[in-house]
Chains A and B, each alone.
Chain A
C-alpha cells in the first residue's frame, strides 16, 4: 500500500484526464434539474462547486451555496445501480425461420465514477451479493462491476434523511474503492483532497497525479471531519434484533397506517441502491423476431406478484410490508446482509414522505400489537 497523498483541484482534473485516456467513460456528480445527478464529466469545472442540498422526507432542494467545495452535499436521487444493472436490457433475440437464440453480449464501455459515496459502494456490494454471485449471477452486472473504476469521496455533509452510521456503511469508506478521497476544507483557499489508493489500478492512477505526501495533520483533519459528519447524521435506526422484530410484527396495525399513505408508485424501489427485482418479458416484432428483455420491476407494482389466478399481494399494505420486511429481515436469510445501506433515498424521494426509520421505530414501539383486522393479508 502506497502512502496517502494530498492533491488539489488540478489533481482531480488530472485524474479525470488520466481515466479518460485509459478508455473510461468518466462520470461524476453534476447539478442538473435541481439535484445532484451522475453525468459525464471531463474536468473539475463540471462538478457542483459550492452546491449544498437540503433533504427531508418527500423533499429535496439544491442550493447554490458558498465556497469552493465540490462535494459538500449528500447523496442525490441516483445510486450507482443503473450503471451495473441497467433499467432495460435485451437478453437475447431469435429470428425466424430458425428461431435460433442469440444471446446479446453487454458492450457497455468501462465506467469510472469520480464522486461515489461510501453508501454507494456499500450498495454495490449488497447488490453484488444478490445478483453478482452464485450459479445465476447476472453477466451484465459482473461485466460492468468488474471493469468499473470507483473513486469514492467520503461524506462530510450528511442530509437529514441519512442514517449510514446505523447501517455501518459510512460516513467514511473502508473498502470497495480504487481511490478514496476526503475533501479537506481550508479557511483561506480552495479545498484539498486527501487521497488513498485501494487497488493496484488506483495506486497507478494516484501515482500520476500532482500533489504532496500526506502528513499526520491531514489524516487528523479527515478523522475530525468524519466524526463531525457522523454526529450530524439526520436519522438513525435501532438495528438490534431488527430482522426478528419485523418477522414477528407482520400483523402489526402500523402497516395499515402506512398503507393509507403509500402511493405504490415504486419510487422507493427505483432509487434504492440494492433493489434488484426485474421483469423478463418476450416481445415479438412484425417480422416475427423475438426479443427477451429485462426491465426494472418493483414490488410496489400490483402486477409484480401476479401468478396464475391473480396477484398474491393485492393490497398496498402487503406490498409495502413486503418491501420493508425483505429489506431489513428476509435479506439476511437470503443474502447474509441487510438490504439497506442507510442512504435515505427512499425517504427523500417518496412523494408521500414515508420515512422507513419512523416506520421501524413505530413498529418497535408497538412490538406485538394485535391486528385490527380479523385476518392478516398475505
Chain B
C-alpha cells in the first residue's frame, strides 16, 4: 500500500463503553506510524479533535446501545459508512452493562440520579447489531490490538480477516500452558470461549472469564456439568457466565439455566427446613447438590 494511492477513510465511534477498545488501536506501538499512511483517519476523537465529514470507508464502533439517542446515532453511523465493524464486548454483546438486562433499569435510575426525570435509558444494553446491520465483529474486553490490525490490513487487501472462532483452549495449548481446569480445577470458560486474546488469563494462572464471548458451537451445558463436578455452585456459575459478555446468547441461556437451578435449590432448602428463613440456604443446597453428582 503506497501513500499515493487513495487511502480508505477510517472512523472510530464510541457508544456506551470505557474507551479501552479504541485505545487498543493506539496501543499498536510498532505499527502506529504506518497506520495513518495506510488509512486516512477521518474521525477518531480519542486521537484527534480534527474531524472530517463522512462518508467513511470503515467505521469501527465501540460500545453498546443503551439510550434512544444511541439508536439514532447508530443509524447515522451506518448511513455514513461503507463497512461497519463492531469492536469489543460492548458493541458485540452489550458489555458488562448488559447486567441491567437482568434487572429493572428504573430501580437503578432512581437510586443513582438526583433527577431521574432527565434520564432516558433503554431497558436493555444491546449490541450494535441489534439496531443496524454490522458487517463484521471483533470480540473481546478489550479487543486484541493485533486482531484490530488484522481487520484493517485485511480490509486494505480486500481479503477476509483471519479471525478464529475456535476455543481459547487451542491458543492455550499452542502456548504450552498446563490446563488450569484439568490440573488444578480452576473454573475456566476457555473451552466455550472464542480465541483471540492469546489465552491471556490462563497464561497467568487465572481462569478464562469469557470476554471474547462464545466460541463457535459452544457447549456451555457440558462445561457447567464439569464445573459442578469440581464443586461450583449454580450461583458461582451464574456469576461466571454473567460478566462482560452476559448478553451473548449462548452464555445468557446457560446463565438462565444456572439461575433456575440456584432458585430451585433455594426453594428446596426452604421446604426441607419447614420454611424457616435461612440466609445461606441457596448456596448450601446448591453445594450439596453439586457434591452429590
Residues in A with CB closer than 8 Å to B165 are 301-303
Judge whether B179 and A303 touch: CB under 8 Å.
no
Q: Are A296 and B166 in touch, CB under 8 angstroms?
A: no
Q: What residues of B have a CB within 8 angstroms of the CB of A349 in the complex? A: 179, 182
Given A59-B182, A266-B166, A281-B162, does the pair A271, B156 have CB atoms closer than 8 Å? Answer: no
B216 within 8 A of A: yes
**B1-54 residues at the A interface, CB under 8 angstroms:** 1, 31, 34-35, 37-38
Min CB distance B184 to A, Å, is 5
Contact: B178 with A33, CB < 8 Å? yes
A353 and B226 in contact (CB under 8 A), knowing A60-B183, A301-B166? Answer: yes
Partner of B191, one of A61, A287, A314, A351: A351
B263 at the interface (CB under 8 A from A): no
Asked if B206 is at the interface of the complex by the 8 Å CB criterion, the answer is: no
* Contact (Cβ within 8 A) B35 A286: yes
Query: Is the C-beta of A37 less than 8 angstroms from some C-beta in chain B?
Result: yes
- CB-CB contacts of A275-312 with B at 8 A, as 1s and 0s? 00000011111111000000110101111000000000
Q: Are A267 and B191 in contact (CB under 8 A)?
A: yes
Binds A, one of B68-76, B81-89, B217-225: B217-225
- The 0/1 profile, CB within 8 Å of A marked 1, for residues 143-184 of chain B is 000000110111011010010111101100111111101111
Q: Tell me whether B226 and A33 are in contact (CB under 8 A).
A: no
**Chain B's nearest CB lies how many Å from the CB of A282?**
7
Give chain B residues whose Cβ lies under 8 Å from the Cβ of A61.
183
Q: How many residues of B contact A (CB 8 A)?
A: 45
Tell which of B154, B159, B181 has the most Cβ of chain A within 10 Å.
B181
Residue among B182, B192, B215, B225 having the largest count of chain A Cβ atoms under 10 Å: B182
Q: Mark B243-271, 1 if CB is under 8 A from A, else 0.
A: 00000000000000000000000000000
CB within 8 Å for A34 and B169 given contacts A77-B178, A351-B191: no
A58 near B226 (CB under 8 angstroms)?
A: yes
Q: With a CB–CB cut-off of 8 A, which chain B residues contact A260?
A: 222
A283 interface neighbour in B1, B38, B153, B184, Cβ under 8 Å: B153
Q: Which residues of A contact B223 (CB under 8 A)?
A: 263, 351-352
Given contacts A266-B166, A284-B159, A352-B223, contact A316 B179 (CB under 8 A): no
- A286 touching B34, Cβ below 8 Å: yes
Partner pick for B177 among A33, A262, A298, A302, CB 8 A cutoff? A33
Mask, A107-139, CB within 8 Å of B = 1, is 000000000000000000000000000000000
Majority secondary structure of chain B interface residues (helix, strand, loop or mixed): helix
Please report the C-alpha to C-alpha distance between residue A267 and residue B37 in the assembled complex, in whole angstroms. 41
Q: CB within 8 A of A34: which of B38, B152, B176, B178?
A: B178
Task: Give the complex CA separation of A279 and B4 in angstroms.
Answer: 35
Q: Is the CB of B216 within 8 A of A265?
A: no
CB-based contact B182/A348 at 8 Å: yes
Closest to A261 in B: B222
Q: Is B142 an interface residue (CB 8 A)?
A: no
A262-B179 in contact given A283-B150, A284-B154, A298-B166 (Cβ < 8 Å): no
For residue A78, which residues in chain B have a CB less than 8 angstroms away from its CB?
176
Chain A interface, number of residues (Cβ within 8 angstroms)? 49
- Residues in A with CB closer than 8 Å to B219 are 261-264, 316, 352
* Bound Cα distance from A249 to B150, whole angstroms: 43
A282, B157: Cα distance in complex, Å: 11
Does chain B have a CB within 8 A of A87?
Answer: yes
Instruction: Let me know if A75 is at the binding interface, CB within 8 A.
Output: no
A60-83, CB under 8 A of B: which get 1 and which 0? Answer: 111000000000000001100010
- Distance between A341 CB and nearest chain B CB, rounded to angstroms: 18
User: B175 — which chain A residues lie within 8 A by C-beta?
Assistant: 87
- Report the bound CA distance from A350 to B173 in whole Å: 12
Indicate if the CB atoms of A286 and B226 lie closer than 8 Å.
Answer: no
A286 with B191: CB separation less than 8 A: no
Residue in contact with A265 in the complex, picked from B38, B154, B164, B169, CB distance below 8 Å: B169
Assess whether B190 is interfacial by the CB under 8 Å rule.
yes
Is A32 in the interface zone, CB < 8 Å from B?
yes
A348→B167 CA distance, assembly (Å): 18
Using CB atoms, name the residue of chain B closest to A56: B182
A352 touching B226 in the complex, CB below 8 Å, given contacts A34-B183, A77-B179: yes
- B153 pairs with A351, CB closer than 8 A: no
User: Could you tell me the distance in whole angstroms from the C-beta of B179 to the nearest C-beta in chain A?
Assistant: 6
- CB 8 Å contact bits of A254-270 with B (1 = contact, 0 = none): 00000011111111001
A303-B162 contact, Cβ under 8 Å, with A60-B183, A78-B176, A316-B219 = no
- Give chain B's interface residues, CB within 8 Å of chain A: 1, 31, 34-35, 37-38, 149-150, 152-154, 156-157, 159, 162, 164-167, 169-170, 173-179, 181-185, 190-192, 205, 215-217, 219, 222-223, 225-226
Interface residue ranges, A against B (CB under 8 Å): 32-35, 37, 58-62, 77-78, 82, 87-88, 260-267, 270-271, 281-288, 295-296, 298, 300-303, 314-316, 348-353
Give 19 new A-B contacts, CB below 8 A, not counting A77-B178, A260-B222, A283-B150: A37-B178, A77-B173, A87-B174, A263-B191, A264-B216, A265-B167, A265-B190, A265-B191, A266-B169, A266-B170, A267-B173, A267-B179, A281-B162, A300-B166, A301-B216, A303-B166, A315-B217, A352-B219, A352-B225
25 contacts between A and B (CB under 8 A): A33-B177, A34-B183, A37-B178, A60-B182, A87-B174, A260-B222, A261-B222, A261-B225, A262-B222, A264-B167, A266-B167, A267-B173, A270-B173, A270-B174, A271-B173, A283-B162, A286-B153, A288-B1, A296-B173, A298-B166, A301-B216, A303-B216, A315-B217, A351-B179, A351-B182
The list of the 5 closest CB pairs from A to B, nearest first, reads: A270-B173, A87-B174, A265-B191, A302-B216, A33-B178
